[in-house]
Amino acid sequence: MKVQPPVKVSQEKITFDVSEIEAILQPPPMDVKPFKPRSVLLKNRDGETKTMLVRAAKLEEAKPLLKIIQEKFLQFDKLEDVPDFYDIVGARVYAEILGWYRHRLKDVYTIVGLCDGELTAFCNGRLMNEEINISLHTMAFDRGFRAGAAMYFIKCQYCFDDLDQDEFWSTFESYNGWKRWGFGMAQPSYPWPDLQHELGGAKVYYITKKYWETSIKNYLTQMYDIKVDLNVSEELLAKNEVLRLPGE
Ligand SMILES: CC(C)(COP(=O)(O)OP(=O)(O)OC[C@H]1O[C@@H](n2cnc3c(N)ncnc32)[C@H](O)[C@@H]1OP(=O)(O)O)[C@@H](O)C(=O)NCCC(=O)NCCS
């Protein structure tokens, strides 16, 4: 749009430094406690086990994460072969990883689950404000070990135990996600369409701090007989220092 200035001006053009524009487009981050690594001994239906280290993803790991999602879930000639809503979740996760990498998501946290360095699961979320934590996505790359169940639980743990927030808001695109956490954790939802989740305007399912304390804290152990260990050895950290994509 252009409108003639109503006053005599000394400069017809004013230029901006892009770093000044960036300061407006990229709001200042909140002071958020970093995610402390933890581990889970995963167990599948047959009783096989493996240890998954869960740690914050490093910014440079955005590239391999984008690569695996693109190759596995977003190639158009393979789209029909992608099961269980991994395609729409993959596309949204791809955008979220870019949002993290390019600083276009507010107070996002990006967490990976690694078994001997191999990417086993992923989850992310963001802080809407000091009280509300928004769950974005959870993905399991190795199926059957309840790695996804553990990652979502760990997001709740980060929200309530580490950050001392009041509520955790989710929505579910897939049957597996809804079954695991919406139904599996008996989560209530807010009236809809009055309140909508930022992922496509779907229903907001929520966990309060009180519900976490009274029930959800026991979810992983009660449902899958697995526990999160907050004491992580240097050896386990070292084994999972470098992220490796499955099959590499
Ligand atoms: C939702 C999700 C993260 C759950 O991961 P998970 O807890 O590790 O569980 P899995 O998906 O491996 O297994 C789910 C169920 O599928 C079955 N299953 C087991 N092995 C499987 C395999 N190799 N392949 C497919 N399904 C399998 C089992 O019935 C299992 O249930 P059980 O553990 O209660 O016995 C995962 O299904 C996923 O990444 N889905 C795509 C992305 C998505 O939907 N994210 C959530 C958005 S709402």
Q: Which pLDDT does position 171 carry in this prediction?
A: 98
Ligand 1 pocket member 225 (CB < 6 A)? no
Q: Which pLDDT does position 150 carry in this prediction?
A: 98
| Tally of structural domains, the chain | 1
Ligand 1 pocket member 33 (CB < 6 A)? no
Q: Would 21 be classed as within a structural domain?
A: no
What pLDDT, in 10s, does the model give residues 150-161? Answer: 999 999 999 999
**CB burial class (10 A; 0-12, 13-18, 19+) of residue 240?**
buried
The Cα–Cα gap between 74 and 79 comes to 7
Ligand 1 pocket member 107 (CB < 6 A)? no
Is it the case that residue 234 has pLDDT exceeding 90?
A: yes
Largest CA distance in the chain: 80
Q: Would 219 be classed as within a structural domain?
A: yes
Residue 125: give its domain's CATH number: 3.40.630.30
For residue 152, what are its two tokens? 């979502």
Torsion over CA: 66, 63, 120, 172 (sign): negative
Q: Would 17 be classed as within a structural domain?
A: no
Mean pLDDT of 102-123: 98
Ligand 1 pocket member 246 (CB < 6 A)? no
How many Cβ atoms sit within 10 Å of the Cβ of residue 60?
Answer: 9
Mean pLDDT of 125-148: 97
Torsion over CA: 241, 242, 245, 246 (sign): negative
Ligand 1 pocket member 174 (CB < 6 A)? yes
Mean pLDDT of 152-176: 98
Q: Which pLDDT does position 76 carry in this prediction?
A: 81
DSSP run (H or E) holding 40? strand 38-43
- In ligand 1, the atom with minimum distance to the C-alpha of 173 is 48
DSSP 3-state of 98: helix
Q: Would 232 be classed as within a structural domain?
A: yes
Region of poorest pLDDT, from 77-81, 101-105, 137-141: 77-81
Q: Which pLDDT does position 162 carry in this prediction?
A: 98
Which percentage of the chain shows pLDDT scores above 70? Answer: 100
For residue 125, what are its two tokens? 């979320």
Q: Would 3 be classed as within a structural domain?
A: no
DSSP 3-state of 96: helix
Q: Which pLDDT does position 1 carry in this prediction?
A: 96
Ligand 1 pocket member 85 (CB < 6 A)? yes
DSSP 3-state of 112: strand
How many Cβ atoms sit within 10 Å of the Cβ of residue 162?
Answer: 16
Q: Would 10 be classed as within a structural domain?
A: no
Ligand 1 pocket member 140 (CB < 6 A)? yes
Q: Whose CA is nearest to atom 17 of ligand 1?
A: 144
Mean pLDDT of 209-229: 96
- For residues 93, 96, 102 and 108, what is the CA-based torsion angle, rounded to 10 degrees? -130
φ, ψ at 55 (rounded to 5°): -145, 165
Ligand 1 centroid distance, CA of 146 (Å): 7
- In ligand 1, the atom with minimum distance to the C-alpha of 172 is 48
For residue 95, what are its two tokens? 């955008």
Expressed as residue numbers, the domain containing 218 is 33-239
**CB burial class (10 A; 0-12, 13-18, 19+) of residue 53?**
buried
Confidence of residue 27 (pLDDT cuts 50, 70, 90): confident
Mean pLDDT of 195-207: 97
Q: Would 246 be classed as within a structural domain?
A: no
Q: Which pLDDT does position 77 carry in this prediction?
A: 86
What pLDDT, in 10s, does the model give residues 41-93? Answer: 999 999 999 999 999 999 999 999 999 999 999 998 888 899 999 999 999 99
Mean pLDDT of 183-189: 98
Q: Would 168 be classed as within a structural domain?
A: yes
Is it the case that residue 104 has pLDDT exceeding 90?
A: yes
pTM score, whole prediction: 0.96
